[in-house]
């Protein structure tokens, strides 16, 4: 079966997470992605863990392996003029270029959009950066944590008497990467309708802010600034015998379901528990009733019983419990991918399923694995030229 993005040629000049996540999605759905890496070192994420047995090795970073599936790796030194020339030759054969460096980098390499346009009449070029290509902070240094800080979301997350708290792994990077996919495909769609390529500028800060979509409107309309409140009542996140469950009982129907689940219909008429406002006032009491009921029960048992009652109660698994969840098993949420150095490992799979076009479960490339294929077979360099480029440190 043909893939959805079959035939789209993408040139990736990215490192770390946001850019590679963007092109990973494209590659997994069929795009032909060439990843340009620095000779000898490769993408710096190759030296970031996890590693099997905690032994750092260029080819076995779990993060690199996940973020670069189905791509082709070539090495190229863009600090050498020959390297830049070769890069431009590849641009000629490309539909889209993706880069995620600071805003000064591409112009300094003379690889900015205007230059690329002279080489390829209608390329789509996507830049993913923390601040975007314009604005007073464009040269500021940044990480996932500082993007959280600027987004307005950090301020609202965590305990009221503690410092603001970021959650998760590297959400800001993934969000920027997904906006990159969306915008780049939209630009390619337009190119194929109107015959015009364009430059696409993704700001990770702005992108992450949109994941709390109504923050600005709420402030603008009512002056509301949300404060940190820890876990939002009436949400609960409590331990059972074998793991945590999370649940909500904000509506009257939810509360009735919860009382039924606990087998305590008397709570419905209990003074002080009758309305949501009254229940707010007895938070601690109610939480401790639920906690003591949950603590000797199993997650699986509580989950299905609650769902029978249409109560939004679900497991809150840790990483050891996620892969084997029955829903994931049934839908093939995780896939096994073999790799010549790292071996066979289980990876998170497709983020969505398309009925007619398959998602690909290929592996990440070794550093420079496709040098010969790209330089000789596609660009037509001879093996002798390749050897000499290697000797000069260009590849």
Partner 1 sequence: MSPLPLQNVRIVDVCQFLAGPFAVQLLATLGAEVIKIESIQRLDNLRLMGGYPQPDGYEWSAAFNTVNVNKYSLTLDLNHPRGKDIFKRLVKASDVVTNNFSSRVMENLALSYEVLREINPQIIMLSMPGYGTTGPWRNYVAMGPNIEMLAGTPMISGYPNGSPMLNGYIADPFASLAGAVAVMVALKHRQRTGKGQHIDLSHVEAITSFNAQPIMDYVMNRRIQPRRGNRHQSIAPRGVYRCMGDDEWVAIAVSSEEEWINLCNAIGNPSWTQEPRFSDAVARYSNHDALDKLIEAWPCQKDKHEVVQILQRAGVAAAPVLSCSELVRDPHLEQRGFIQEVTHPVTGTYRQHGFPVKFSDTPVRIRMPAPTLGQHNEYVLTKLLGLTTEELRQLAEEKVIGTKPLGWPYSEEVDEHDKKLLVGDQGSGVREALEKQRDIDEEETASS
- Radius of gyration in angstroms for the set of CA atoms belonging to the chain, rounded to a whole number: 25
Site string for partner 1, 157-196 (x = CB under 8 A): xxx--xxxxxxxxxx--xx--xx-xxx-xxxxxx-xxx-x
* Cβ-based nearer residue to partner 1, 276 or 393: 276
Q: How far is the CB of 193 from partner 1 (least distance, A)?
A: 6
Interactions with partner 1, residue window 253-282 (CB under 8 A): 253, 276-277
* C-beta separation of 209 from 196 below 8 A: no
From the list 36, 46, 131, 395, which residue makes contact with partner 1 (rule: CB under 8 A)? 131
Task: Tell me if 320 contacts partner 1 by CB under 8 A.
Answer: yes
Site string for partner 1, 2-31 (x = CB under 8 A): x-xxxxx----------------x---x--
Site string for partner 1, 280-319 (x = CB under 8 A): ---------------------------x--xxxxxxxxxx
Q: How far is the CB of 372 from partner 1 (least distance, A)?
A: 29
* C-beta separation of 278 from 267 below 8 A: no
**Which DSSP symbol is given to 44?**
G
The three-class DSSP label of residue 218 is helix
Interactions with partner 1, residue window 26-85 (CB under 8 A): 29, 48-54, 62-63, 65-67
> Where on the phi/psi map is residue 16: left (φ > 0), alpha (ψ -120 to 50), or beta?
left
From the list 85, 104, 241, 353, which residue makes contact with partner 1 (rule: CB under 8 A)? 353
* C-beta separation of 392 from 86 below 8 A: no
* Cβ-based nearer residue to partner 1, 205 or 381: 205
Q: Is the dihedral of CA 133, 138, 141, 142 positive or negative?
A: negative
* Cβ-based nearer residue to partner 1, 167 or 385: 167
Task: Tell me if 118 contacts partner 1 by CB under 8 A.
Answer: no
Residues 6+ positions from 90 with CB-CB distance below 8 Å: 11, 34, 374, 378, 379
* Cβ-based nearer residue to partner 1, 34 or 147: 147
List the structure tokens of 376. 């000789």
Task: Tell me if 104 contacts partner 1 by CB under 8 A.
Answer: no
Task: Tell me if 358 contacts partner 1 by CB under 8 A.
Answer: no
* Cβ-based nearer residue to partner 1, 141 or 384: 141
Task: Tell me if 237 contacts partner 1 by CB under 8 A.
Answer: yes
Site string for partner 1, 362-391 (x = CB under 8 A): ------------------------------
Q: How far is the CB of 147 from partner 1 (least distance, A)?
A: 8
Q: How far is the CB of 77 from partner 1 (least distance, A)?
A: 21
* Cβ-based nearer residue to partner 1, 86 or 187: 187
- Which of these ranges, 34-42, 327-335, 372-380, 382-390, lies near partner 1 under the rule CB under 8 A? 327-335
DSSP string, 142-198: --HHHHHHHHSSGGGSS-TTS-----SSSHHHHHHHHHHHHHHHHHHHHHHHHS---
Q: Is 82 exposed, middle or buried (0-12, 13-18, 19+ CB in 10 A)?
A: middle
The three-class DSSP label of residue 338 is coil
* C-beta separation of 34 from 72 below 8 A: yes
Count other Cβ atoms within 10 Å, centred on residue 56: 12
């Amino acid at each position: 079966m043909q893939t959805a993005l079959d035939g789209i040629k993408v040139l990736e000049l990215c490192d770390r997470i946001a850019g590679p996540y963007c092109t990973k999605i494209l590659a997994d759905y069929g795009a032909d992605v060439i990843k340009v890496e620095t000779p000898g070192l490769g993408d710096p994420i190759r030296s970031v863990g996890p590693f099997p047995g905690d032994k750092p090795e260029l080819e076995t970073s779990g993060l690199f392996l996940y973020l670069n599936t189905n791509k082709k790796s070539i090495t190229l030194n863009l600090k050498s003029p020959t390297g830049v020339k070769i890069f431009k030759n590849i641009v000629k054969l490309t539909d889209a270029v993706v880069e995620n460096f600071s805003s000064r980098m591409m112009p300094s390499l003379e690889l900015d959009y205007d230059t690329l346009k002279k080489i390829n009449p209608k390329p789509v070029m996507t830049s993913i950066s923390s601040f975007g290509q314009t604005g007073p902070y464009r040269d500021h240094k940044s990480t996932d944590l500082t993007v959280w800080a600027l987004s307005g979301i950090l301020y609202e997350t965590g305990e009221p008497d503690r410092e603001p708290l970021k959650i998760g792994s590297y959400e800001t990077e993934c969000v920027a990467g997904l906006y990159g996919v969306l915008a780049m495909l939209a630009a390619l769609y337009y190119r194929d309708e109107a015959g015009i390529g364009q430059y696409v500028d993704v700001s990770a800060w702005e992108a992450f802010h949109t994941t709390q979509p109504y923050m600005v409107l709420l402030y603008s309309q009512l002056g509301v600034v949300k404060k940190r409140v820890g876990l939002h009542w009436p949400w609960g996140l409590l331990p059972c015998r074998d793991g945590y469950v999370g649940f909500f009982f904000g509506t009257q129907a939810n509360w009735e379901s919860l009382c039924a689940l606990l087998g305590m219909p008397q709570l419905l008429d209990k003074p002080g528990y009758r309305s949501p406002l009254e229940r707010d006032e007895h938070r601690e009491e109610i939480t401790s009733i639920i906690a003591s009921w949950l603590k000797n029960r199993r997650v699986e048992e509580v989950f299905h019983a609650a769902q029978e009652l249409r109560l939004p109660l679900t497991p809150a698994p840790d990483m050891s419990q996620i892969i084997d969840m029955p829903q994931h098993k049934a839908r093939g949420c995780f896939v096994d991918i073999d790799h010549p150095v790292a071996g066979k490992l289980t990876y998170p799979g497709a983020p969505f399923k398309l009925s007619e076009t398959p998602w690909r479960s290929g592996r990440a490339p070794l550093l420079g694995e496709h040098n010969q294929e790209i330089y000789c077979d596609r660009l037509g360099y001879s093996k002798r030229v390749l050897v000499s480029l290697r000797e000069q440190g260009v590849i």
